[in-house]
Amino acid sequence: MLKSVGIVGLGIYAPEKVMTNADWEKLVDTSDEWIRTRTGIQERRYVTEGQGTSDLATEAAKKALEDAGMVPEDVEFIILATCTPDYRAQNASSLVQAKLGAKNAAAFDLSAACSGFIYALSIGKSMIQSGMYKNILVIAAESVSKLLNMKDRNTAILFGDGAAAAVLKEVEDGYGIISSFLGTEGVLDETLRINYGGTLHPVTHEAIDNGDIYLKMNGQEVFKFAVKALPKSTKEALAAGNINVEDLDMVIPHQANMRIIEAAAKRLKLPMDKFYVNLQKYGNTSAASVGLALGEAVQEGKIKKGDLLALTGFGAGLTYGSVVIKWAK
């Protein structure tokens, strides 16, 4: 019989710099009302000068280890979900390993954009169930603000920075990560992509001048994908665990847009009060989004032992996925 694997420690971190809708009004042709009514976002956090994704990840990881009653030397493996690593050719998870002092841990980065935390939890669970490892540190961290064109009001206003970390270990039988579903609908166009900076299109002066080194998004296409992907992945993960959607105590969705979450709630036939939302404070923090929301929900006392949760994400790729968790703490 496979081991039950769950989250035994949780930590979140958001940088100190706050970027409000009022701040955006000074930069581009927009308004607080326009942003709030279309997205639900009121403010977001940005990294400061000299602060990178590995710094955010390290802070969240420290809190998760403290919550789990562990020290860095206890960690055997680090999985860092991010699409905004510090460097092009050194994995950010290795930087986190060094900064934490997790000298016994192997480490790799995982790139699944806003689905990253879901993918990492699912992989981490499988690695523990295989018997290879006992203690795995899953982190999702992003510095998306560094990749935004501050003149593009349609994209730049949506995103923020942050990190979340979870310690995975064997837990009481029947608790922890019950089931999961991961999916991909690969697209070859620039639905959600940074066109220049990779091996196909290295950075050029022309690309910089044209703004091609920044994140570009087709909002309508992403919306159409998201309102289908979020309920589909949630239903698939529930089916894999033989759980009915009505049995869920809480859904923690990717915090991209309030309209997407409301549309998904209707498709799942669940009331909005079962959905935890904090996008008004952080915006879309990509891979960190679901973990940040989970961490805040726990801090606020809204999750108790035995609660059934569905964590669900969708992002560039296009990727999507869900995990169903019976909370073990």
**Residues assigned a catalytic role:** 114, 254, 284
115/244 Cα distance (integer angstroms)? 23
159/148 Cα distance (integer angstroms)? 8
Q: To which residue do tokens 């159409």 refer?
A: 224
Q: Identify the CA nearest to 107 among candidates 88, 120, 126.
A: 120
Asked if 155 and 196 touch (Cβ cutoff 8 Å), the reply is no
In total, the chain counts a number of residues equal to: 329
24/4 Cα distance (integer angstroms)? 46
176/310 Cα distance (integer angstroms)? 12
E strand segments, the chain: 5-13, 17-20, 43-46, 77-81, 106-110, 136-143, 161-170, 176-184, 192-193, 216-217, 250-253, 308-315, 319-326
Run of H or E residues at 263: helix 258-268
Q: Looking only at Cα atoms, what is the longest distance across the chain?
A: 59
